[in-house]
Amino acid sequence: METYDVVQKLQRFITDHDLPKTDIALYGIKCPYCGKSDRIRELEDPNELEGIIDPEGIKTYSGYCVALSLPMGSLGVCKFCQNPLRISPKEGKAEAIV
């Protein structure tokens, strides 16, 4: 599956399941799409969602995470524009997933 398709499906999944469930903003990290710096949230690891999302949903979400994962950083979302992002909290940056 193409990266663009995975990103679109992940974006829909995030919206449908109201992710992330933990609402902690990563202040100072700027969204590359909309420029907001107070709306970036880190997405949970699929294992953290057991009992919150049905098992089939966790399997789907896990597949998206694996398809988009990088050796460094993690997945996040801008809660303003709803775009999935690759984030590096320690470096204080977010990037578009391409």
- Burial pattern 64-98, b for ≥16 Cβ within 10 A else e, equals bbeeeeeeebbbbbbbeeebbbbbbeeeebbeebe
Give the pLDDT band (50/70/90) at residue 73: confident
Please report the pLDDT score of residue 89 as a whole number.
87
**Interval 21-67: pLDDT, tens:** 988 999 999 999 999 999 999 999 999 999 999 999 999 999 999 99
* 72 vs 45 pLDDT, higher one: 45
Does residue 71 surpass a pLDDT of 90? Answer: no
Please report the pLDDT score of residue 45 as a whole number.
92
| Domain interval for residue 71 | 3-96
Q: What is the number of domains present in the chain?
A: 1
